[in-house]
Amino acid sequence: MLDAPRELVWQAFTDPKRMKEWWGPKGAKVLHSKMDLKPGGTYHYGMQMPDGMAIWGKFTFREIVPRERLVFITSFSDEDSGITRHPMAPSWPMLMHSTFTFEDEPGGKTKVTIRWQAYQASPEEQAAFDAGHDSMRQGWGGTLEVLTAYLAKAARPKSKPKAKAKT
């Protein structure tokens, strides 16, 4: 449950400038964030991890229902947007099918449901994915902490600059 209206949460997931502010595990810094939000379009991102390692990733959008659902194929990537293996887990699936849903909740809050599954995976890749659930839950927990902080900041009313006194 996110303490922000669905429109703002949707924008956080679909605007590459906003994604740059929060996407990725806690402590990561997004260095590249480019999105073509349409079926067949992509979101390509690069981030620097706390240890200095660069990680690239890509979403290929399959379905977009504004403010309700995003469906896409997720992969690790290189700087040129090519699909690559997980840099630290060679048996991780090359592709994952992701569905994010967004629902209004009382009090101006938003429920986001994230579902991932290995896609076109070999038995070894499926086993790695299944064994990685606790790690994924921990990673998503950190990512959602960063998103929560971003939404709190983004939801604050902007203060107007004070007018200069005439002398």
Torsion of CA 62, 65, 71, 72, to 10 degrees: 50
Q: What pLDDT shows up at residue 162?
A: 59
Q: What pLDDT shows up at residue 25?
A: 87
User: What is the distance between the alpha carbons of residues 147 and 151, in angstroms, rounded to a whole number?
Assistant: 6
Q: What pLDDT shows up at residue 159?
A: 58
In this predicted structure, the answer to whether residue 147 has a pLDDT above a threshold of 70 is: yes
Query: Residue 84: helix, strand or coil by DSSP?
Result: strand
Nearest to 28 by CA among 9, 57, 54: 54
Q: What pLDDT shows up at residue 166?
A: 57
Give the model confidence (pLDDT) of 64-84 as tens digits: 999 999 999 999 999 999 999
Q: What pLDDT shows up at residue 139?
A: 79
Q: Does domain 6-154 have CATH number 3.30.530.20?
A: yes
Helix/strand number for the chain, H first, E second: 4, 7
User: What is the distance between the alpha carbons of residues 28 and 32, in angstroms, rounded to a whole number?
Assistant: 12
Host H or E run for residue 128: helix 123-131
Highest average pLDDT, of 23-27, 113-117, 156-160, comes from 113-117
Please answer whether residues 57 and 32 qualify as being in contact, where contact means their C-beta atoms are separated by less than 8 angstroms.
no
Q: Amino acid identity, residue 85? A: R
Please answer whether residues 132 and 92 qualify as being in contact, where contact means their C-beta atoms are separated by less than 8 angstroms.
yes
Give the model confidence (pLDDT) of 3-50 as tens digits: 999 999 999 999 999 999 999 888 899 999 999 999 999 999 999 999
In this predicted structure, the answer to whether residue 163 has a pLDDT above a threshold of 70 is: no
